[in-house]
Structure 1
């Protein structure tokens, strides 16, 4: 692999492609009949639904054999999370990730109080660390992290030519309280999003309504914020396609978190908290939306 291209690549000669992956974190508590699925059942369900990979933490030593066996059994690609505060925090992780056969490493970079030149130096150091390890590396646009503020993140992208992003715009929509009714504000945010979307290397699929970071968008994606997100995803995919070479992979990761990301209601007699959505069914809706956005991006490129 050659990470200096800025894209996630698998070393093959396959045409550039999207791969729809499922977040392992998003599988927490998912099951049927009141019982959470086992690890093996989760892999089986993810494969049956047509996903081609998983994003999770790098497995601990005692779990590594099981993970490798199941990933190989289902021919899944595998991306991992990390939460560095300094470049040296990922040095060993990158080596272990490469040995394990990880497709790419994603970072939520700590923390939101690191700003200005200090943040630029941190991000630059992380990028260089990944380049030295020769493994694809992305930084996630996320609240509570270096990337918390949209305006600051735009500045970081402009300052670091090799910085590639995992796009999750739900964080900026909720942080800016941007709603479907706020057309002017959405338009202004879209101009800044455009700068970030030009660095798309991965996309995390979650839709915010501007008040909650993760909402149920309906069984047929009826929610009013679906179309804006589809537009941004398509835009990022189009930018990615313009750069992509053989072997390039664009992971589109459905990432619907368990409570407290998921909205719940409380049964006050029992104290039980119940999710108001079926997260698994919603993940399948987001999967379809990602595939539709990809088709739109392909068609828009053909018309150029």
Structure 2
């Protein structure tokens, strides 16, 4: 099975689009993962440039933040349509709020399903703090009650929320792996969603734990007959990345770390 790697625009939003796409292409990525503006002209510019650089697109949604559910719902649908209409490889969405009711979050998931069916684009939901999917045991309830719900697995968030490497939640993790369509390969730990640097030997065990989860996803999809799968190395900038006290300087280079993660997984995942 071919694994395709997607470069997150997160941490590179200060660059011109063309410069970012060229840098991602030269680093060996197959595509980019990014949101798209609501402005049609800017959106078209991005899509044209992606074709010029021969990069695929995973469209990312995170912007719907309002706490008023009715307003949230309207904005969420508009953003789903905006992304799906661009015909990306898939849409990855951070959906809902951790304080919305089950029924409210399920309504948003259903909106995504309707847009997905209308535009013929897969829409999947990222496991993420602050969203409906903030914890392993909560997502299990959604997966049990919504049989066609699919995930982007960013399991780093769950490690942070649970303050463990989820050793006591294996059933919930296994169910999530069954439904995973895309991976964000950031490494979390008990006290944060991002270890300082995956190259450091003191984090070897935690990196291996995450890599083993990702390998299980690959094994499941391969067993189903899949020929392709997607991964986005997604170590982020400050405040995910620690800064040196008083200097406002990152402790390591985000871009280099993500390229390392891509190369590590190319060598490690079977």
Indicate whether 1:284 and 2:259 are aligned.
yes
Indicate whether 1:27 and 2:5 are aligned.
no
Q: What is the aligned partner in structure 2 of residue 144 from structure 1?
A: 130
- Please say if residues 197 and 252 of structure 2, whose CA atoms lie closer than 8 Å, have aligned partners that are also in contact: no
2:179 to 168, 177, 199: 199
CA displacement at 1:209 relative to structure 2: 2.2
Q: What is the aligned partner in structure 2 of residue 299 from structure 1?
A: none
CA displacement at 1:38 relative to structure 2: 4.2
Q: What is the aligned partner in structure 1 of residue 190 from structure 2?
A: 210
Q: TM-score, normalised by structure 2?
A: 0.86
Q: What is the aligned partner in structure 2 of residue 46 from structure 1?
A: 24
RMSD, aligned α-carbons: 2.4
CA displacement at 1:200 relative to structure 2: 0.9
Indicate whether 1:226 and 2:207 are aligned.
yes
- Please say if residues 96 and 105 of structure 2, whose CA atoms lie closer than 8 Å, have aligned partners that are also in contact: no
CA displacement at 1:53 relative to structure 2: 0.5
2:35 to 43, 57, 71: 57
- Please say if residues 17 and 46 of structure 2, whose CA atoms lie closer than 8 Å, have aligned partners that are also in contact: no
- Which residues of 2 match residues 245-256 of structure 1 at below 5 A? 245=226, 249-256=228-235
- Please say if residues 187 and 198 of structure 2, whose CA atoms lie closer than 8 Å, have aligned partners that are also in contact: no
Q: Where do 5+ consecutive residues of structure 2 fail to align? A: none
- Which residues of 2 match residues 1-304 of structure 1 at below 5 A? 17-28=2-13, 38-59=16-37, 60-83=39-62, 84=64, 88-178=74-164, 186-219=166-199, 223=203, 224-245=205-226, 249-267=228-246, 272-295=247-270
Q: TM-score, normalised by structure 1?
A: 0.77
CA displacement at 1:92 relative to structure 2: 4.1
Q: C-alpha deviations, 1:88-111, integer Å up to 9, x for none?
A: 544444444344331111111121
The verdict on how the C-alpha distance between 1:168 and 1:140 changes in structure 2, with shifts beyond 3 A counting, is: same
Greater RCO, 1 or 2 (C-alpha within 8 Å, sep 6+): 1
Q: C-alpha deviations, 1:51-89, integer Å up to 9, x for none?
A: 011011113334234322321122111011224566654
CA displacement at 1:117 relative to structure 2: 3.7
Partner SS for 2:6: strand
The verdict on how the C-alpha distance between 1:144 and 1:18 changes in structure 2, with shifts beyond 3 A counting, is: same
- Please say if residues 35 and 60 of structure 2, whose CA atoms lie closer than 8 Å, have aligned partners that are also in contact: yes
Q: How many residues align?
A: 261
Which is greater in Rg? 1
The verdict on how the C-alpha distance between 1:69 and 1:120 changes in structure 2, with shifts beyond 3 A counting, is: closer
In 2: Cα distance, 1:232 partner to 1:191 partner: 13
| Deviates further, 114-123 or 135-144 | 114-123
In 2: Cα distance, 1:94 partner to 1:175 partner: 27
- Please say if residues 200 and 239 of structure 1, whose CA atoms lie closer than 8 Å, have aligned partners that are also in contact: no
In 2: Cα distance, 1:150 partner to 1:164 partner: 14
